[in-house]
């Protein structure tokens, strides 16, 4: 048990809870000369530093205790929103290869639930792809295991002793299998390009005789995708990705294509001036080979440079 007291600017920490992206801290200093005996602050920390923000002091403990409760409720609501669509349940040892002599690099590994904060003790926070680190090799002296979260894509670090084991393929959850399938499509198809947080494949060209207005009738706003420019924020709300027609076509290499399939959701989209519309109309198949050859030539030129 660690009995060492924690102090922040002379205030002894008497209560704290870490939930979501910050820790809420309540401190006490009965010797404060100005009569500000109690302190409330938010703390964000990583391996290098601690940062304290939104700090207030008071002579009243009850006042700050009430504010502590309000901040806690606010953080709980943020976590509830962030975790709303995340699958629940956690991975246990019987679902993993827990051999101690395995190398982890490139493998789908599982972090022990007990080393995660309570609100993060779910499969979506446990399942990682190991990307390296001395701890990824069982014979190495170091313990660091670097990995990417398979659900969020965020990079993070754990220690080798935090790893439960390698997840057995028969226990891959449905969402993981889907993401790995998408990853395979992206890696195997040179026509796929990334824009925002999604990947797209050029699939169609709209015939000139269809006409703009006919095509427009087959389009609709996809609020789940949320790709529009900020000037539409008053109409649709804040965009999930700030869309730009020029940036979208720059991302795909300025190819002559009208319809693009989103790899993540399987829907077709039509790039407009201010929004990426979902498109359900007809189109001619895009000549993928031409784009593939263009990508290859571009790659060769970049290699020559």
List pLDDT tens digits, range 282-298. Answer: 899 998 644 444 444 44
Q: What's the average model confidence in pLDDT over 243-272?
A: 94
- Residue carrying the six token digits 């870490």: 18
Choice among 3-7, 31-35, 46-50, 142-146 with the minimum mean pLDDT = 46-50
Choice among 38-47, 107-116, 195-204, 207-216 with the minimum mean pLDDT = 207-216
Domains of the chain in sequence order = 7-82 (no CATH), 93-171 (2.30.30), 189-291 (no CATH)
pLDDT value at residue 288: 60
Residue 105 has phi, psi (to 5 degrees) of: -55, 130
pTM of the model: 0.68
Q: What is the number of other CB atoms lying within 10 angstroms of the CB of residue 246? A: 10
**pLDDT confidence of 229, banded at 50, 70, 90?**
very high
- Rounded Cα distance between 205 and 234, Å, is 32
Cα of first residue to Cα of last residue in the chain, in angstroms, is 60
Average pLDDT of the chain to the nearest whole number: 89
3-class DSSP state of 66: helix
291, 200 contact by CB (below 8 A): no
DSSP state letters, 157-188 = EEEGGGEEEEEPGGG--HHHHHHHHHHHHHHH
- Rounded Cα distance between 94 and 127, Å, is 15
User: Whose CA is closest to 125, among 143, 110, 136?
Assistant: 110
Q: What's the average model confidence in pLDDT over 114-121?
A: 92
Sign of CA dihedral 76, 79, 83, 89: negative
260 pLDDT more than 60: yes
User: Whose CA is closest to 8, among 51, 62, 63?
Assistant: 51
pLDDT value at residue 83: 82
- Rounded Cα distance between 268 and 204, Å, is 9
pLDDT value at residue 9: 92
pLDDT tens per residue across span 34-64: 999 999 999 988 767 889 999 999 999 999 9
294, 255 contact by CB (below 8 A): yes
Q: What's the average model confidence in pLDDT over 149-161?
A: 92
**Which residues, in sequence order, are CB contacts of 39 under 8 Å at separation 6+?**
8, 9, 11, 26, 27, 28, 29, 55, 56, 57, 58, 64
pLDDT value at residue 298: 45
303 pLDDT more than 90: no
């Amino acid at each position: 048990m660690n009995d060492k007291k924690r102090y922040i600017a002379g205030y002894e920490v008497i209560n704290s809870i870490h939930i979501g992206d910050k820790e809420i801290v309540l401190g006490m200093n009965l010797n404060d000369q100005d009569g500000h005996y109690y302190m409330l602050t938010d703390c964000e920390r990583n391996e290098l530093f601690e940062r304290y923000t939104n700090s207030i002091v008071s002579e009243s403990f009850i006042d700050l205790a009430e504010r502590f409760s309000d901040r806690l409720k606010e953080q709980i609501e943020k976590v509830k929103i962030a975790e709303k669509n995340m699958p629940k349940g956690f991975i246990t040892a019987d679902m993993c290869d827990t051999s101690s002599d395995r190398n982890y690099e490139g493998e789908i590994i599982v972090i022990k639930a007990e080393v995660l904060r309570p609100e993060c003790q779910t499969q979506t926070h446990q399942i990682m792809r190991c990307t390296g680190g001395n701890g990824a090799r069982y014979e190495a002296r170091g313990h660091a295991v670097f990995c990417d979260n398979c659900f969020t894509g965020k990079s993070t670090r754990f220690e080798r002793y935090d790893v439960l084991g390698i997840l057995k393929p028969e226990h891959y959850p449905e969402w993981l299998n889907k993401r790995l399938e998408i990853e395979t499509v992206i890696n195997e198809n040179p026509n796929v390009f990334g824009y925002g947080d999604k990947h797209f494949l050029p699939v169609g060209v709209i015939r000139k005789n269809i006409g703009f207005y006919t095509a427009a009738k087959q389009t609709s706003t996809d609020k789940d995708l949320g790709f529009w420019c900020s000037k539409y924020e008053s109409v649709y709300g804040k965009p999930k990705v700030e869309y730009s027609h020029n940036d979208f076509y720059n991302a795909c290499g300025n190819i002559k294509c009208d319809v693009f399939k989103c790899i993540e959701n399987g829907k077709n989209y039509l790039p407009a001036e201010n929004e990426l519309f979902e498109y359900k109309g007809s189109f001619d198949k895009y000549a993928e080979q031409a784009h593939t050859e263009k990508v290859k030539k571009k790659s060769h030129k970049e290699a020559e440079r």
